[in-house]
Amino acid sequence: MQIIWLLIKASWISATLAILTGITSGVCSARLIALVNSAISQNATQSLLISFAGLSILAFVTGSLSQFLLVDLAQNSVYQLRLRLSQRILASSLRQLEQLGPSRLFAVLTQDVQAISNTVFVIPFLCIDLAVVGGCLIYLGWLSIWVFLIVVAFMVVAIPLVQLLLNFAYRYLNLARQEDDQLFTHFRSITDGLKELKLHSVRRQTFFAEDLSVSAAKSRQYQKNAFKFAALSSGGGQFLFFLLLGVLLFGVPEALPSTQAVLPAYILTLSYLMGPLGNIIQRLPNLASANVSIQKVNRMGLKLAEHAEVETVVTKPTPKDWNQLKLAGVVHTYQDPGADHQFRVGPIDLTINSGELVFIVGGNGSGKSTLAKLITGLYTPESGEIRLDAEPIVDTNREWYRQLFSTVFADYYLFERLISEEFSTLDAQARAYLRKLELEQKVTVQDGQLSTTGLSQGQRKRLALLSAYLENRSIYLFDEWAADQDPIFREIFYTQLLAELKQRGKTILVISHDDHFFHLADRIIKLDYGRMESDEYLAGEQW
Ligand SMILES: Nc1ncnc2c1ncn2[C@@H]1O[C@H](COP(=O)(O)OP(=O)(O)OP(=O)(O)O)[C@@H](O)[C@H]1O
């Protein structure tokens, strides 16, 4: 069971201790049953009373200790799983994550990790139950080896039958989990496409009836089937148990008269066993469901690991005085499985000089944002090379290289926490920029934390610009930054803000469709269908 591995991986010492104390507790419980049997069949003596009291206390202490250890272990393993998975996602290549898609990542991070943590919670109880069952079986063997063999033979037939039913449950849970990925995509459509759905009743009804309801119904059906099979296996287990009692009560005394004396003890012990055995059978479907989730997380984890970037802690300072950033024959191809055609950007040969203001222009879908991801090191070129002066950018220094860039992509994410090299002056700098960006009435800054990000699109983009300003890196990249700005602020951006950055010695790459500001660039690179159509230096000083 993979979930047990999860616990052992969290700490094998605690796991071993928990197992040992759990076994002791189980054996004590079984021994207590044996004592009860003795006390019923003989007279209750002083020594039996002392043993009974001692065993009860030992069963309580070892049982509690085992559960405490397992509770710690269980919670630690869920904690580690959450962190490990998040780290793996952070270490994966951007392209790989784009292909997996946010819905699948989100489903794994929330639903699967939750399913695992819910099941891990019942494992401590399951372990104690298993120990009790084990101890009782040993006692039964000691009472009469023949009856024990009959019980074991019965179990050898009964357990695979129950297991068979559980396998069906397991299969349906797997299908339900796969369908839930699809369902999560529809849930995202509800949250992200709320406006469009509200405004278009036919779209809303079609989406609801043909996408969401279909997916939810499939998931419901799979879950129903899964839990019905699980119920059948649990009920079947109980039925088989009573069948066993019947055989012991009515069949065994006929065949083996010598066992008559131990049968009351047998029946008492087996009846005591029913509780823990029932619990185990009931909890097995939970384990199956957690196993599906673990497989899902592992599969995702493995996939992520396959594409994990070389983890490098950036110790080398980012260069401030570089001269040239060179792309030589750089190519990126989008190879989405299922897509009938590929899109290729490149081969791109391009040299960007330090301090240049470069506009990257071209029609929609010409590859501007892809080129930006290649230049910033977010995409690894599938062929060709990027060099910063003499240094080729490879897997081991790509993380270092990325620290050169401050970006505001078209699909930027705005963090409420600001980061700056100078933490002591961060608030003062941020307030100055808030004034410059005409946001001081809307947002305040305290200890590097923005008071709100709930603003208009254009205002949020200004906050993203503020965040980039504070990072104070060598190269700035703006992907259609001005698209959401009013004409006045658009003008301010092109004529003042870019000029100030240039005066501060920054290299600036601006992806833009605003052709009436193109004359302000030092250089214009035009892309067409993934190729560089032109690279034009503009004469004269515009600033
Ligand atoms: N995540 C993606 N998955 C698959 N293909 C993609 C992806 N992003 C871009 N593409 C492909 O690359 C092409 C260029 O996209 P890109 O975003 O680089 O263009 P762009 O010039 O920035 O366009 P726009 O001006 O519309 O922002 C697209 O037409 C599409 O075929």
Most confident range (mean pLDDT) of 107-121, 250-264, 270-284, 507-521 is: 507-521
488 and 358 in a single domain? The answer is yes
User: What distance in angstroms lies between residue 371's CA and the mean position of ligand 1's atoms?
Assistant: 10
Q: How far away, in angstroms, is 370 Cα from ligand 1 center? A: 6
**What one-letter code names the amino acid at 409?**
F
pLDDT tens digits, one per residue of 152-162: 888 888 878 88
Task: List the residue whose alpha carbon is closest to atom 1 of ligand 1.
Answer: 98
Q: Is residue 347 part of a domain?
A: yes
Q: Which of 279, 306, 333 is the last residue of a domain?
A: 306
Long-range contacts of 496-504 (CB under 8 A, 24+ apart): 497/465, 498/357, 499/543, 501/476, 502/355, 502/357, 502/543, 503/543
What is the three-class DSSP state of 360?
Answer: strand
Q: Do 301 and 340 belong together in one domain?
A: no
pLDDT tens digits for range 477-527: 999 998 888 888 888 889 988 999 999 899 999 999 988 888 889 999 999
Closest by Cα among 526, 522, 513 to 542: 522
Share of the chain above pLDDT 90, in %: 23
Task: Kindly give the distance from the C-alpha atom of residue 528 to the centroid of ligand 1, in angstroms, as a whole number.
Answer: 12
CA of 355 relative to ligand 1 center, distance in Å: 27
Whether residue 328 sits in one domain with residue 302: no
Non-local CB neighbours of 176 within 8 Å, separated by 6+ positions: 219, 222, 223, 226
Quickly count: other Cβ atoms within 10 Å of residue 446's Cβ: 9
Give the bridge partners for 383, in sequence order.
331
Q: Please, what's the largest Cα pairwise distance for the chain?
A: 113
Task: Confirm whether 506 is domain-assigned.
Answer: yes
Section 34-63 average pLDDT? 84
Quick: pLDDT tens for 420-457.
777 778 888 889 889 888 888 888 888 888 888 888 88
Residue 336 Cα, ligand 1 centroid: separation in angstroms? 12
- pLDDT at res. 506: 92
CA distances from 339 to 99, 149, 336, 343, 365 (A): 12, 61, 6, 10, 16
Confidence of residue 350 (pLDDT cuts 50, 70, 90): very high
Report residue 168 as tokens: 């069906």
453 and 415 part of one domain: yes
The CATH number that applies at residue 190 is 1.20.1560.10
Q: What is the mean pLDDT of the chain?
A: 84
- Give the C-alpha distances (Å, rounded to integers) separating 526 from 319, 369, 381, 399: 28, 12, 20, 28
Among the residue ranges 50-54, 200-204, 337-341, 483-487, the one predicted with the least confidence is 337-341
**In angstroms, what CA-CA distances link 5 with 8, 9, 74, 158, 192?**
5, 6, 11, 26, 38
Expressed as residue numbers, the domain containing 464 is 324-537
- Same-domain pairing of 523 and 374: yes
For residue 63, the one-letter residue type is G
Task: Tell me how far the alpha carbon of residue 369 lies from the centroid of ligand 1, in angstroms.
Answer: 7
Per mean pLDDT, which of 126-130, 308-312, 372-376 is the most reliable? 372-376
Instruction: Say whether pLDDT at 307 is over 80.
Output: no
pLDDT tens, 198-208?
Answer: 888 888 888 99
Determine the atom of ligand 1 nearest the C-alpha atom of 363. Answer: 25
* Structural domain includes residue 48: yes
Residue nearest to atom 18 of ligand 1 (CA): 367
Contact between residue 6 and residue 81 where contact means Cβ atoms under 8 Å apart? yes
pLDDT for 388 equals 92
Number of domains in the chain: 2
Same domain, 123 and 76: yes
Which residues are near ligand 1 (CB < 6 Å)? 98, 334, 336, 343, 362, 364-370
In order, the DSSP letters of 374-426 are HHTTSS--SEEEEEETTEE--TTTHHHHHTTEEEE-TT----SB---S-GGGH
- Residue 529, pLDDT score: 92
541 pLDDT above the threshold of 80: no
What's the rounded Cα separation, in Å, for the pair 65 and 71?
10
Which of 94, 336, 370 for mutating ligand 1's site (highest number of atoms within 8 Å of CB)? Answer: 370
- Report percent pLDDT > 70 for the chain: 94
Q: What is the model's pLDDT at position 420? A: 79
Q: Both 190 and 124 in a single domain?
A: yes
Identify the residue whose C-alpha is closest to ligand 1 atom 28. Answer: 365
| Co-location of 246 and 382 in the same domain | no
- The two tokens of residue 522 are 């030092």
Whether 239 and 134 map to the same domain: the answer is: yes
**Which residue, chain included where needed, has tokens 């580690």?**
80
Residue 96 buriedness (CB in 10 A; 0-12 / 13-18 / 19+): middle
Task: Tell me: do 477 and 419 sit in the same domain.
Answer: yes
Whether residue 149 is predicted with pLDDT greater than 80 in this model: the reply is yes
DSSP 45: -
Q: Ligand 1 mean position to 529 CA, how many Å?
A: 10
Q: Is residue 504 part of a domain?
A: yes
Residue minimizing CA distance to atom 13 of ligand 1: 365
280, 306, 332 — which closes off a domain? 306
Q: Is residue 317 part of a domain?
A: no
